[in-house]
Structure 1
Amino acid sequence: MEFSPALRPATLIARYKRFLADVVTAEGETLTIHCANTGAMTGCATPGDTIWYSTSDSSTRKYPHSWEITQTREGHWINVNTLRTNAVVREALESGWIPELSGYETLKAEVKYGSERSRIDFLLQAEEQVNCYIEVKSVTLLQQGKGYFPDAVTERGQKHLRELISVAAEGHRAVLMFAVMHSGIEDVSPARHIDGRYAALLVQAQQHGVEVLAYKASLSHLGMQLKSSVTVTL
Structure 2
Amino acid sequence: MQFSSPLQQGRLIQRYKRFLADIKPNILQNNAIAEEVLTIHCPNTGKMTGCAEPGWAIYYSTSHNTKRKYAHTWELVENPQGDFICVNTVRANQLVGEALQQRTIATLAHYGEIKAEQAYGSERSRIDFLLRQTGEPDCYVEVKSVTLLDNDVLPGATSWLSQGQGFFPDTQSVRAQKHVRELMACVQDGQRAVLLFCVLHTGIKQVSPAHHLDPVYGSLVSEAMAMGVECIAWRADISPTGMQLVEPLPFIV
Please name the residue that 1:9 is paired with. 9
Question: Comparing 67-76 with 195-204, which one deviates more in the overlay?
Answer: 67-76
Are residues 1:126 and 2:126 paired? no
Match of 2:52 among 40, 45, 49: 45
Instruction: State how far apart, in whole Å, the 1-side matches of 2:71 and 2:213 are.
Output: 33
Please name the residue that 1:221 is paired with. 240
Instruction: State how far apart, in whole Å, the 2-side matches of 1:151 and 1:71 are.
Output: 18
TM-score (norm 1): 0.99
Name the SS for the 2:177 alignment partner: helix
**What code does the residue aligned with 1:55 have?**
T
Please name the residue that 1:164 is paired with. 183
Instruction: State how far apart, in whole Å, the 1-side matches of 2:95 and 2:208 are.
Output: 21
**What code does the residue aligned with 2:142 have?**
E
Instruction: State how far apart, in whole Å, the 1-side matches of 2:42 and 2:192 are.
Output: 33
Please name the residue that 2:30 is paired with. none
What's the CA shift for 1:127? 1.0
TM-score (norm 2): 0.91
Are residues 1:21 and 2:21 paired? yes
Instruction: State how far apart, in whole Å, the 2-side matches of 1:230 and 1:104 are.
Output: 22
What's the CA shift for 1:24? 0.5
Match of 1:195 among 199, 214, 222: 214
Please name the residue that 1:55 is paired with. 62
Are residues 1:104 and 2:78 paired? no
When the two chains are superposed, the root-mean-square deviation of aligned CA atoms in Å is 0.7
What's the CA shift for 1:106? 1.1
**What code does the residue aligned with 1:209 have?**
G
**What code does the residue aligned with 2:129 have?**
F
Are residues 1:79 and 2:86 paired? yes
What's the CA shift for 1:38? 0.4
What's the CA shift for 1:129? 1.5
Gaps of 5+ in 1: none
**What code does the residue aligned with 1:231 have?**
P
Instruction: State how far apart, in whole Å, the 2-side matches of 1:161 and 1:77 are.
Output: 28
Instruction: State how far apart, in whole Å, the 2-side matches of 1:205 and 1:57 are.
Output: 44
What's the CA shift for 1:153? 0.4
Gaps of 5+ in 2: 28-33, 152-162
Match of 2:200 among 171, 174, 181: 181
- Answer with 1 or 2: which has the greater Rg: 2
Match of 2:37 among 30, 41, 59: 30
What's the CA shift for 1:216? 0.3
